[in-house]
Chain A
Amino acid sequence: DVKVTQSSRYLVKRTGEKVFLECVQDMDHENMFWYRQDPGLGLRLIYFSYDVKMKEKGDIPEGYSVSREKKERFSLILESASTNQTSMYLCATRRLAPNYGYTFGSGTRLTVV
């Protein structure tokens, strides 16, 4: 059974802290994605990566950075957490082939206080 694992289900951090959200997959998928999900706004793409050490900005990259040093791991970094980054963060992977959708992790609910 394929898996996308996000390191934490719930996280509470203080304003100004550096926050790391980790995502690990065991499917050997090339593409990995970070979304945030907010009520009324839906899922918004933050960053994605199509290969090791490669990254592309999504629709809302401001305040975030990413790292992909190994194929199976994609990290989202909040350089200095702010309260408006309180959200549900979802990691997804996708195989580089037609007609394949995303496989999602279980999500990390981050609260910044």
Chain B
Amino acid sequence: SQELEQSPQSLIVQEGKNLTINCTSSKTLYGLYWYKQKYGEGLIFLMMLQKGGEEKSHEKITAKLDEKKQQSSLHITASQPSHAGIYLCGADSGYSTLTFGKGTMLLVSP
């Protein structure tokens, strides 16, 4: 079965700093999804990547899928308190289901 490993597990950054979260798969990724979760709430869809080398951006968040399609990174530029939360990557794992990483908790300090 496919496994997704996220790093780091948690991260504290000062407001205004950049940061990167990584998601590494044990198998080739055919669809990689990034979600954000506020504590105690559901997951909000951020971006989906499919093609090797693909890069997508939304506001100050950029996600990339490497050429070999086994790793994705999520980069936040000039972090703000609104970026705080748990970031999860998910990958297609058959029967229309997604497998998720365990998440990266981001705290943004003033």
Contact = CB atoms under 8 A, between A and B. Distances in A.
Secondary structure type dominating chain A contacts: strand
Contact of A90 (B43, B50, B95, B102): B43
Contacts, number: 54
A27 interface: no
Interface stretch (A11-19, A60-68, A79-87, A97-105): A97-105
B48 A48 contact: no
B96 A107 contact: no
Contacts of B98: 101-102
Interface of A: 4, 31, 33, 40-43, 45, 48, 50, 56, 58, 88, 90, 92, 94, 96, 99, 101-107, 109
A43 B37 CA distance: 12
A101 B45 contact: yes
A45 B99 CA distance: 8
A104 to B, nearest CB: 4
B104 to A, nearest CB: 11
Contact of B45 (A33, A45, A50, A103): A103
B59 interface: no
Nearest to B100: A43
B42 interface: yes
B40 interface: yes
Interface of B: 31, 33, 35, 40-45, 48, 50, 88, 90, 95-103
A101 B33 contact: yes
19 contacts: A31-B96, A41-B102, A42-B88, A48-B96, A50-B95, A56-B95, A88-B40, A90-B43, A101-B31, A101-B35, A101-B45, A101-B90, A102-B45, A104-B42, A104-B43, A105-B42, A106-B42, A107-B40, A109-B40
Contacts of B101: 42
